[in-house]
Structure formats: structure tokens, C-alpha cells
Structure 1
Amino acid sequence: MSELRFEGVSVRYGSRRRGTTAVDGVDLTVPDGAIVGLVGESGSGKSTLARAAVGLAPVAAGRILVDGAPVRRPGPVQMVFQDPYSALDPRMTIGASIAEAMPRGRTDRHAEVARLLTQVGLAADRAGMRPAQLSGGQRQRVALARALAARPEVIIADEITSALDVSVQGTVLNLVRDLRQRTGLSMLFISHDLAVVRYVSDFIAVMYLGRIVESGPAEDVLADPQHPYTRELLAAAAAAEVSEPDAVADAEPADPHHPPAGCRFHPRCPVGPLVVPGRDVCRDTEPTPAGHRHAAACHFAATTTLVRSDS
């Protein structure tokens, strides 16, 4: 597999006056053979970034590279979508769906379909079935096999467990880890669930309102989060594990059509200018990710601890 790199990538929808910049100047690298977990709330731009990588969203600025070369066709990067029920053509057999994704000129399609099904933990005789005959978890395995059939250099998995029952999610996550160990695949694994990302990722990037606000080795980001938004996500995940779900901060995210000046998280930040006096720089100046233990776009990342305003 290979390295996937986003350099200053922006994706914009609509007109210049009334449009929305869904992804704004993102720099992100998926190293060769690694799994990078991309996490953030709904609307943060995660899926838009993924769709840009496979040519399904317009890139307004920046470059998307595989091993240093621009991605000019969908082949090098394959995507596994969130919903396994709609990702497969219900009129086609499983085998036909997988074979359709193979490069042209292959003569051993039947054998290759059998190999790919076995690789994702399904019996080869499932090739003659249709999607309606399979469970959700089995369909997602087929979707992975279809992505692998194209011989990609990088795979993007976009919320591939969110539509599955909790009892099935673990099986699919184990498959992802197993595939990485056996094939050395490079993967951008997108989720809103930090617990899921923690289980499969070597590196973690946190996205908020179209920008990466924190990134680094998974163990560093999870053990010592530098950005208040990451800390809030971890606190919400921990509360959910003990059946005490908690929202991230007290306010709703800002309107993506009109993001705040300065730090985009400052209107919700528990250690920002609405809570701690003297931090007007957060309102006026956009933070840079450099200067901390790992990349974190926060003016006070290295000096503050998470303190809720209601504590």
C-alpha cells in the first residue's frame, strides 16, 4: 500500500457569496501501512474530505496525493461507504458486484472473487447470493471485498460500523485490524466514535468545522489531548460508556456558512474567552497547530486543563 496526503485541501459548495466551505485548508497524511482515525461531530467535514479523495466532491484548493503523485482517477483510492444496505446493487449477485470492481483484463475473476470473500471472512459460496440474503455485517464485509478487488493503494472507510448493531461492530473492526496486519493496507478510518477509532488507529486526527484541530500518534492524542475539543470528545465518550451520555460543550456548533473568527471552537470552548478572562486572542487570531507536544490548533493547548464552566 502507499501514502495518502492532503495538502491544503478545501472543498466548497455553492456560490462565492452564499456557499459553504465544508473543508478548509486541511493538511493530513495517512502513512504507508498505517490506519489514521479521523474523528469529529456530524458536519465537521470528515465525509466531505473522504469524498474528495475519490473524486466525489470538488476540490476548490490544494492537492490530494498518493505517493507524491496527484490522484487523477478513483482507482488508487477506494472507499467503503457507511450504509452496507445501499452500497451494493440489490439486483447483482455478491460475486458480480465484487468482480465489477476488478481491473479490466483479469481472466481469473471467479477465483479472485473466492479469494477476496475468504479474505474478509465469508465462505466462497456466498458469491451466488444477493445482498438481501446477507446480514448487515456480512454486507459490509462484501463492501470491503469489493474495495479490495480494485487493488487500491489506500482505502477510506467512512463510518463503516455506524449502521451496524453493536454486536456486529466488533466483528467488522477486528476484520479491519486483521486486514491491515495481513495486507499492510493504508486506511483513513472515519468515525464520530472515539472508542471505535481508538481500537483500530495508529494515528488520530480530530476535525472541527472543516479544519483539523489536533493530530498525532493515537496513544499520545488519547493519553494527553492538547485541544479542548478533543478533551470534550473523550469526556463525552467516557460518559456514554457508563450510560451517561453528554453533549460536547454546552452550545451547538457554529453555522458552517459563517464560522467564527479566530479559533472556530472558541464560542463552545470550556477554557476559552467566554469562560476565562484575558483570552481575547481566541476570538481574533486563528491558532496554528505547531508548538505543542503534537499538532494542536489551540493558543493555550500546552498550558490549560479542561475545566467546565458549570464546575
Structure 2
Amino acid sequence: MSELVFDEVRVRYGTGRSALTAVDGVSLTVPSGHVVGLVGESGSGKSTLARAAVGLAPLSGGRVLLDGEDVNRRTRRGRRPLQMVFQDPYSSLDPRMSIGASIAEAVPRGSRDRRAEVGRLLELVGLDPDRAALRPALLSGGQRQRVALARALAGQPEVVIADEVTSALDVSVQGAVLNLLRDVQRRLNLSMLFISHNLAVVRYVSDLVAVMYLGRVVEAGPTEQVLADPQHPYTRDLLAAAPSWHTSLLGDADREVADAEPSDPHHPPSGCRYHPRCPKGPLVHAGRTLCVTTDPADGAAARPHRAACHFAGPSAPADGPPGSLEPNGVDA
């Protein structure tokens, strides 16, 4: 078991006006032996944060720590303590190699019997060891994702990062893969960062959840608490967009604002990054100019779920009538 910590992590691509800050000052902890769900719409920076953790995206600032030590330093000493399972099982495995060879390639050097280890890992993910000689083309999508998980586990990681591992699979097999992930995580007592845009999946798998928008974490906390009582309008909008009872969280006017196009990530808006789409912001409550001028991240630590919102909490009228200037959790 190990604790993974993102400390003010920044990832920036390009220079000048065309530069894109994909991850902007994210601080997030994956506690030892727990599953943290990272959720947000496409372009929020979820996958970039994951790639930064395993060294596939260069850090522009901040640190990624494992038990207080820089991950890159741990990696340079040999075994990679972080392993990643990618979204697409069709491209994450070499089509020219047998699945047994792909898994064996990830087994640390010095292991005495790689063939036995490959068989053990295949059994762990619910596949017959006799299939080790098959190539990926002969397997279904769900089976390939099981092989990808086995390959990640072959490296004997302390933390596993699962990036949208069910989104490319048929609905009929998604549940089986999620059950496998939960079973393996609990059996091996792994720490896991589980990335998804599907809140129902995150609720099923995760102990804790963090919500990202335009490169920043806007709300985080225990999964059941955050999803039962969301404090940030973006979290509420994600719940309202899900096909469930949460669709009643937004009225028609508020949903029209929330359905607006996201801001250009190359030029994020001032103040709160969500204010151009927010049903609590100045587009609906004209007097709330604070959302345009002041970054709510500065006071997030003092609010429930560390919500990066000046008016965090239940929807109006509980937080005041349209035009109300007094934010929740911040001195007026």
C-alpha cells in the first residue's frame, strides 16, 4: 500500500498565445489502499493528470509523490511503482505478441519462473492460463482489457491508474470488468486512481471522488457525500446530465445555461472558470460579479468538499435570491 499525492501539479503544452495549460495547480491525494474516482467531461484534464503521474506527460510545475518521495526518483531505481491501464484495449497491447509474452515482458527482471507468473496473473483476472499463446486479435474487448490489467499487475505496482477502462467496451461486459477491478484492488490492497466521465461507475468503484473542470479540481470528498450533496454547480450539472433521478436537480432555465459550450481551454475565463456556464453565476444572478473577478479556489479549503465556488451549497433560493452578493463560506 502506498499514498499517491499530486502537489500543485501543472502540465502545459506549447508557448505563447497558443499554449494550453491542461492541468493547472491540481492537488489531490490517493490514500493508501483506497480508490479515488476522478470525474469530469472531455477536456477537463483527467487523462493528462494520469499521464503526468506515470511520466508520459512532462510536469510544468508541482510534484507527484509516492509516500512522500518523488515518483520519478523511485522509477529511476528500477521497478515502476505506478502502472496504468489505458482506455482502449485494442491499442494498448502489441498485436504481434502473444498475450503471455506481453505480460511476461512486464514481469520484473530476476523473477525465476515467468511462465508460472503469467499463468497466475491470467487466473487473477479471470482468464484461462492456456490462452497465454493467443494474440490479442483472437480476444474480445473485455478479454483484452483483462489482459491489460494483468500486464499492469505484472509490474508489481503500488498504485494502479485506470483511465476510462470501460468506456470502449460493450455495456454487456462493462459490469464484469468493474467487478474485476474492485475485486483485484481489494484482494491486493492496492491504491487506485480511477478515471471516468460516468458518475454511476465512479459511485460503484470509488471510496473518494474528485471533480475536474478546465484543468482544476473543483470539488472533492467521500463519494457518497459528494454525490448525495454536491456543493459545486458543475458537480450538480454532471449529476443532472446523468440518466437517473438526478435529472430533476436543474430547472429548464438553469439547464440551458449549463448546456452552453465550455470555455476555450487556451484562454480560460477570469475568476471562476465555470461562471460562463453556471446556473449560480452572473448569467442567472446578475449581481454576482464576484464570480467574474475573483478565483474561488483561494477559499476552497474552508468550504464543504473543498468546493471551488463562492456560492457553494444548495441551489437558490437557499443561497439567496437572484442578485444576492453574499457568498457562502466567504466573508462578505
TM-score range, shorter chain: over 0.9
Q: Does 1:144 align with 2:141?
A: no
AA at the equivalent of 1:152: P
Name which of 90, 96, 118 aligns with 1:85. Answer: 90
In 2, Cα distance between equivalents of 1:143 and 1:247: 40
> 1:213-252 to 2 correspondence within 5 Å?
213-238=218-243, 249-252=258-261
1:108-135, Cα deviation, whole Å (9 max, x unpaired): 1011001101111111111111101110
In 1, Cα distance between equivalents of 2:317 and 2:123: 47
Partner of 2:275: 266
Q: Does 1:132 align with 2:114?
A: no
8 Å CA contact retained: 1:159, 1:190: yes
Q: Does 1:186 align with 2:197?
A: no
Partner of 1:285: 294
Gaps of 5+ in 2: 248-254, 323-332
Partner of 2:60: 60
> 1:103-142 to 2 correspondence within 5 Å?
103-142=108-147
Name which of 165, 176, 180 aligns with 1:175. Answer: 180
Residue 87 of structure 1: SS of its match in structure 2?
A: coil
1:218-251, Cα deviation, whole Å (9 max, x unpaired): 0110110000000000011135999xxx898121
8 Å CA contact retained: 1:232, 1:248: no
Q: Normalising by the residue count of structure 2, what TM-score does the alignment of the two structures yield? A: 0.88
Partner of 1:201: 206
Larger gyration radius, structure 1 or structure 2: 2
In 1, Cα distance between equivalents of 2:256 and 2:36: 24
Query: Hey, which of these two has a bigger chunk of helix by percent?
Result: 2
AA at the equivalent of 1:235: A
Of 105-114 and 298-307, more deviation after overlay is shown by 298-307
Q: 1:303/1:231 Cα in 2 relative to 1: closer, same or farther (>3 Å)?
A: closer
Partner of 1:299: 310
8 Å CA contact retained: 1:38, 1:190: yes
In 1, Cα distance between equivalents of 2:81 and 2:30: 14
**Aligned-residue offset at 1:105:** 1.3
Identity of aligned residues (%): 71
8 Å CA contact retained: 1:254, 1:260: yes
**Aligned-residue offset at 1:106:** 1.1
1:150-192, Cα deviation, whole Å (9 max, x unpaired): 0111010000000000001000000011112211111100011
AA at the equivalent of 1:4: L
8 Å CA contact retained: 2:103, 2:154: yes
Q: 1:178/1:280 Cα in 2 relative to 1: closer, same or farther (>3 Å)?
A: same
In 1, Cα distance between equivalents of 2:194 and 2:296: 26
Q: 1:241/1:87 Cα in 2 relative to 1: closer, same or farther (>3 Å)?
A: farther
8 Å CA contact retained: 1:99, 1:109: yes
> 1:69-84 to 2 correspondence within 5 Å?
69-72=69-72, 73=75, 75-84=80-89
Q: How many aligned positions are there?
A: 305
8 Å CA contact retained: 2:211, 2:219: yes
Partner of 2:31: 31
Q: Normalising by the residue count of structure 1, what TM-score does the alignment of the two structures yield? A: 0.94
**Aligned-residue offset at 1:290:** 2.0
Q: 1:204/1:305 Cα in 2 relative to 1: closer, same or farther (>3 Å)?
A: farther
Q: 1:59/1:248 Cα in 2 relative to 1: closer, same or farther (>3 Å)?
A: farther
Residue 275 of structure 1: SS of its match in structure 2?
A: coil
The alignment yields a C-alpha RMSD, in angstroms, of 1.9
In 2, Cα distance between equivalents of 1:65 and 1:131: 34
Gaps of 5+ in 1: none
